[in-house]
Structure 1
Amino acid sequence: MKLPDFIESASLNSLRSRIKAPLSFYKLSIVLPAPQFKRRDPPPPPPVLIPVQGLDVDFGSISAYPDGTLIFDGRRVLIHIRDVADHGGRTHIPRFHISNCRTLIEMKSSGRFEKYVVAEAEDGNFYIRYNTGPLKITKLDVCQNCLENLAWDGFFNQMSKNSRSAIVSKFSPKRFFEKYPKSLHPVVPVYTSATAPINDYPENWDQISRELKRQLRYRCQQPGCGIELSEELKNFLHVHHKNALKNDCRPENLVCLCIGCHANQPNHSHIKSLPEYKTFVSKFQSSANF
């Protein structure tokens, strides 16, 4: 007696959809082509007049010291997002962090902490890459949640906007390190400003995404959706990076999402302005969960 294929069972898949459980792919062992990246040029030398102390720090991992500051390899450090993406024509300039604030805690819990890199710059200048362009030295402001976490100069988020702005504008990493000397302890970004790989798709991304869609049978893996799309409709099926790192193409970091579910992911609302999204919604309106 041949057992039924539980993955292809229409009744079981209907039940999974009703209880918002993901479709079962447990029998599948996803094997994808190895990512192929462009050879990275060494980072440009910094201008002579701009201090570069600590920008090329080697580090293993980061932890919060009992006083709330960030520690790497026995030293207090600053961290910031180095690669800045353009979301629908909008570019958000990041803040640098001096403590284990609620922003970092949220990034850790959502698996997006590896977007950060370590720095020890004392003048507020940091290396930033816009999209896939060259590194540029940019003046960044300190994170206000960090200031509140350390009660720096009496800062708290319920202060007036002018009072908060005044403390932010007066803040300097040099003064911070005078109060909290660079000093001990270890979980963290894996890269420094100079060594972090470019957060961009590998050159063979089309091949990787096509193969994942094929192996997952052109189904959206969002719980509660599970819409099935044929190969002819695969342009409505996207491959999403869970941790937002485009260069991390491990099967466990990739998920197939229909364009409707993809548009509901953090920082992906710009997808809703695409013609394909509007076509998809009109075509699958009756079964849409978005």
Structure 2
Amino acid sequence: MKLTTDLSGLWANVERMGKFEANFNLQEDHSPDFELDKDLSSTAGLDIQLEDLELENGVLSVKGRQVLLFIPDQGQAIDEVLGGIKEGRKFHVADCKTLNSMRQKNRFNRYKATYNTSGLFKVYGVSYETGDSVEGEAELRVCKNCLSYLNYKGYRHGKGLPKKQIYNEYDISEFLSEYSTLFSSMPDRSQVVDKGGYSDDWAEVSTNYRATVNFCCEQCGVDLNSNKRLLHTHHISGNKRENHPDNLKALCIDCHRKQPHHDYMRVTHENMLFLNGLRREQGLFNISNWNQARNVADKAVDGLLRFYEKSGYPLPEINFIIKNNEQSTFQLEVAWPSLKKGIAISAEDIKAGQLYGWNVLSVGEALSEMNQ
């Protein structure tokens, strides 16, 4: 029997609700990117060759993913490393002098790459007591020369207790978050961070709380009604189940990653451009001192700004926009307009600035210059 029912009204309602296309695939993803991310997210890491390592950004990366490099072989110290008695071999995050020395000595093949945020690394060695091969997972510490190379949190100029505190409180998740704008291929937060810990009604709690502050960041004041996904609800204490309003704070994704007690949080360069564009439009970009400059600047240039302040540079412009013509603009993360000098993240902005007669460096080039 032929059906003659008019379904046009039903389809009109479907169109109004928006189309939904199911992506249902029982096949396991064996794409090269999937395998790469799977290896890099493990505590065992990925074997890499010297030519695989990318150094253009100052921090280390492999195929566009920011990574840590570590040596799994702990030799005869393996028992003490696994027992937490010895720190073990340091892992690297930047193109420091130690890593450069290892390359020159042709000892680079000892390293593995990972972006696992647990702080645990799969290591092995030969027991000094028994002579047996031993393996397991151990906590390793960051290389101090890497912290100095990046001037991480002011480590380069720190002394005594503050310098020791920066080293002792170094957090991998926080570090990867702070430099995530330099990379286009870093994994999403869901691939790195355990989703557990939040209460079952967290989505509703978060939405309701952000609505009470009219979807404005309680740190920098930016109004994010136009893009609510960039406004998060932060647990001040770090306890993800403590949802009392006194423990909650609405923060834009940039301010959120600058807080203690958060997991890995990827912030793209595009997100930062959007946020700072809104901040400028909303009159929130008044910078009169170095602290204010660092508060609104991309975290990837924080160490550079601390260095420039200590070195007596004049206060720079942050997120400086130059109109080349009516259709073309380029943006510098840090700029000294009177000197026509600046730092940019986007390769297109670097090229445009240089063509326009500016001395524009990448973040990696600026870090290299700082360490000369």
TM-score by length of 1: 0.40
In our comparison, the structure showing a higher alpha carbon Rg is: 2
Larger RCO, structure (CA 8 Å, separation 6 or more):
1
TM-score by length of 2: 0.32
